[in-house]
Structure 1
Amino acid sequence: MSDTAQAAPPDAGAPPRTGHWKLIGPGIVAAATGVGAGDLVATLIAGSRFGYALLWAAVVGCIVKIALAEGSARYHLATGSTILDGWRSLGRWTSWYFGIYILIWGFVYGATAMSATALPLAALFPFLPLWAWAMIAGLVSAAFVALNRYEVFETVMKLLIGVMFVIVVAVAIMVLPNVGAALRGLIPTVPAGSAIYTLGLIGGVGGTITMAAYGYWVNAKGWRSPAWMGIMRLDNRVAYAVTGIFVVAMLIIGAELLYTAQIALTEGDRGLLDLREVLADRFGPTVATIFLVGFFATAMSSILGVWQGVSLLFADFVRNIRGGTESREELTTSPAFRFYLFWLTIPPMALLAFGRPFGLVVVYGALGAFFMPFLAITLIWLLNSSRVPKEWRNGWLSNTLLGGAALLFIVLSIAEIARLITG
């Protein structure tokens, strides 16, 4: 593999005066990565239990994610440094926390992502067992990320999100949504027993650690100066508008297909296989098979996005720890990037055979619960400081949205820790 093959696009210079819509891409990558199979099931279950009542929460969640992703990318463009550089400037504690978190997270997430991608493959092509499809998905994803430039990666991600968007929205239309009830669902209400689902819809769908990777994908696109701020914001808003439509479509499916019939789904990724059976009964096997293709596109976009984006974060983390001088263009050819691809793919295969050890799951859940508050609070800290030129610091709206996100994720983290303790 040559350095030329992995080189990032050159600095794009000044943005063009027209054709901004054609440039959209990094936000689509971030949004596609953040919406996984488990998120879809959580949205479906919310719809199946509470109908349209929590539709407003899905919309608020997209607004929160727009603020977080915009803050991450704004730091990159305004300062010319990376979010890892910013965290390190806040103290060595950030490196200790992030280093421990990213290693444990990658080990457990690797198995989870490979299993999620294998579920629709095993259902479509049952001649191989689930664990074999999981290993194939991991190895193919690692090879693809290692051998392809950002432009190819972005194109494939756009294709995957296009497939899953069209299929999910088409199914939502087929179930004949109740427009009046949907509009009433935009009025904030919290039905009895829905508090955790409400918080989960706001905070859980659309990305966690991968939101910190958005700035790296913006840079990989060639956007590397404040001149690109407007286009980055357009890119980010369009991407999360697409995510919002996608999440609303899943909630409609849950409300119309499951809530009215009082059908329960299995928790986790396997709930989408339950939905396939419901779709087969209602619309026939062809629609059910097409839905499995959308399920695969959803899972595959997440695994590719994590393999590329979180490996970039790890490579930059190692650069910061070592005090290295590598440019952002060289991160994807660094030994640290390749090591993390290996770490996401090979060691987690042991978990496919033996299950996830309870102690590791507890640590993973605890650290994961605190990552989003960490991201929101550190963005507030960085974007209100002298590290950022005055014109690109937070205004009242950014501070309000990021502050609200921090409070939300603190509540979610407390709920997650309580769940881990009580089992």
Structure 2
Amino acid sequence: MSSPSPPGLAPGLPGAAEGARPLTVIRLMGPAFVAAVAYVDPGNVATNITAGARYGYLLVWVVVGASAMAMLVQYLSAKLTIATGRTLPEMCAHRFGRGTRLALWAQAEIVAMATDLAEVVGGAVALHLLFGIPLLPGGLITGLASWLVIVVQSRRGQRPFEAVVAGLLAVVLIGFLYDAFSGGFSAGGVASGMVPRFAGGDSLLLACGIVGATVMPHAIYLHGALVRDRHGDFRGGKRRLLAATRLDVSAAMSTAAVVNLAMLVVGAATLGVRAGDSIEAAHGGLAAALGPLPAMLFALALLASGFAATSVGTYAGAVILEGFVGRTFPLAVRRLLTLVPALAVLALGAEPGEALVLSQVVLSFGIPFALWPLVAFTGRRKVMGELVNGRVTTVCAVVAASVSTLLNAALLWLTVAG
């Protein structure tokens, strides 16, 4: 699949005037909600529920901190493209040598495969919980569903695609919020979970998984393309579009943060260590504690997240390939490139929950390779012009990239030492 070529400025969108009337700004919103789907995928479900079941509210601070980090980096990704007309992969290809460019592309493809693993496995598990479909056929159905959603984008344009994805995101939001409030939760526990701390190496592993599931490398690569494909070349309207992007990202990432927190609350309030910490255990625990409706909504939310997130992941894979390598593949071929490893994991009979959590750890290792170039580019006036980051933004971006890098280094040390 190739990333759709910019359609040009849509009528009534960015124009020569820089005034940003509220209704005009709202009409420019949408791309961030597509990116936000990557932050509420089945990998998030697995890591957040596991964290809640094993450690209660201990890692609430990780969810909140990762969500704040996600809000910043998605904004910077969109800002880079608004300022330069290039996505992050295209900018890396333009600025770096061939060896660096190909190395970044290789790790980005591994990230894309880990992403698809989580989303296809999650969709397969949801279909099994809802309809009893075996995991391997369920993975095939999930892959086909994602392909159909991307067909909407390639044939109907960006707005219908955004509408489909936003509808699936709404299902995820409603399902997990209903379950979180139905199960009850401790406000004091959530407040105490805001104090940064760990409880051994396993909690650090889960923290890295939460960060990897929340700050998604492929979404960082993708966001600029979403903005460009929706709004064209931005001529004459960069300031207005940047203002709309801030609102878009704030609303979308806040929604994703609420969903992620609800996932952890479901694990902490409804499951606990005795009930188990897998997705199947969460479904069974909800059914036993609250009845069939919360369990069904949980499975529907998981299915919607799998369908939507794997569609967005396929889109991101095309942006990664075209940006770093300058090549495109047909939609079906691009879909198969990352689908095959996920189907192989299902065929080999791997435990779905463990596969989901480990996939998020792999994703966390890809974050620095996306973040550090993004921080460097958006902090350079020669690259960004008048849209260059201010000092406070640069400091916050450096802190976010540093925290991610240090978490991964600590996890690697614990793995080797253990």
TM-score (norm 2): 0.84
Q: Counterparts in 2 of 1:329-408, with a 5 A limit?
A: 334-335=328-329, 339-346=333-340, 349-354=343-348, 368-408=363-403
Q: Counterparts in 2 of 1:11-410, with a 5 A limit?
A: 11-12=9-10, 13-14=14-15, 17-19=21-23, 20-88=25-93, 89-107=95-113, 109-126=115-132, 128-148=133-153, 149-186=157-194, 188-193=195-200, 194-222=203-231, 224-225=233-234, 226-227=238-239, 228-259=241-272, 262-266=273-277, 271-319=278-326, 334-335=328-329, 339-346=333-340, 349-354=343-348, 368-410=363-405
CA deviation digits over 1:250-305, x for unaligned, max 9?
2222222234xx43534xxxx22211101111111232122111111122221111
State the one-letter code of the partner of 2:374. Answer: L
CA RMSD of aligned residues (A): 3.0
Identify if the C-alpha distance between structure 1 residues 235 and 393 changes in structure 2 by more than 3 Å, giving closer, same or farther. same
State the one-letter code of the partner of 1:130. Answer: L
After TM superposition, give the deviation of residue 42 of structure 1 in Å: 1.5
**SS of structure 1 residue aligned to 2:338:** helix
- In the aligned structure 1, how far is the partner of 2:403 from the partner of 2:263? 23
Q: Do the aligned partners of 1:26 and 1:217 also contact (CA within 8 Å) in 2?
A: yes
State the one-letter code of the partner of 1:281. Answer: A
After TM superposition, give the deviation of residue 189 of structure 1 in Å: 3.2
Identify if the C-alpha distance between structure 1 residues 253 and 410 changes in structure 2 by more than 3 Å, giving closer, same or farther. same
After TM superposition, give the deviation of residue 230 of structure 1 in Å: 0.7
After TM superposition, give the deviation of residue 165 of structure 1 in Å: 0.4
State the one-letter code of the partner of 1:377. Answer: W
Q: Do the aligned partners of 1:314 and 1:337 also contact (CA within 8 Å) in 2?
A: no
Identify if the C-alpha distance between structure 1 residues 368 and 242 changes in structure 2 by more than 3 Å, giving closer, same or farther. closer
Identify if the C-alpha distance between structure 1 residues 85 and 159 changes in structure 2 by more than 3 Å, giving closer, same or farther. same
| 1:329 alignment partner in structure 2 | none
Uncovered stretches (5+) of structure 2, i.e. residues with no partner: 351-355
TM-score (norm 1): 0.83
After TM superposition, give the deviation of residue 246 of structure 1 in Å: 1.0
CA deviation digits over 1:159-195, x for unaligned, max 9?
1110110111111111222223323433x23153244
Identify if the C-alpha distance between structure 1 residues 379 and 197 changes in structure 2 by more than 3 Å, giving closer, same or farther. same
Greater shift after overlay, 56-65 or 174-183?
174-183
After TM superposition, give the deviation of residue 7 of structure 1 in Å: 6.4
Q: Do the aligned partners of 1:79 and 1:387 also contact (CA within 8 Å) in 2?
A: no
- In the aligned structure 2, how far is the partner of 1:250 from the partner of 1:365? 15
Identify if the C-alpha distance between structure 1 residues 132 and 172 changes in structure 2 by more than 3 Å, giving closer, same or farther. same
After TM superposition, give the deviation of residue 354 of structure 1 in Å: 3.8
- In the aligned structure 2, how far is the partner of 1:352 from the partner of 1:422? 30
Identify if the C-alpha distance between structure 1 residues 257 and 379 changes in structure 2 by more than 3 Å, giving closer, same or farther. same
- In the aligned structure 1, how far is the partner of 2:167 from the partner of 2:79? 26
Q: How many residue pairs end up in the alignment?
A: 394
- In the aligned structure 2, how far is the partner of 1:372 from the partner of 1:72? 13
Q: Do the aligned partners of 1:78 and 1:389 also contact (CA within 8 Å) in 2?
A: yes
Identify if the C-alpha distance between structure 1 residues 223 and 234 changes in structure 2 by more than 3 Å, giving closer, same or farther. farther
Identify if the C-alpha distance between structure 1 residues 107 and 240 changes in structure 2 by more than 3 Å, giving closer, same or farther. closer
Identify if the C-alpha distance between structure 1 residues 263 and 150 changes in structure 2 by more than 3 Å, giving closer, same or farther. farther
After TM superposition, give the deviation of residue 84 of structure 1 in Å: 2.0
Identify if the C-alpha distance between structure 1 residues 131 and 411 changes in structure 2 by more than 3 Å, giving closer, same or farther. same
After TM superposition, give the deviation of residue 10 of structure 1 in Å: 3.1
**SS of structure 2 residue aligned to 1:11:** coil
Q: Do the aligned partners of 1:139 and 1:345 also contact (CA within 8 Å) in 2?
A: no
| 1:325 alignment partner in structure 2 | none
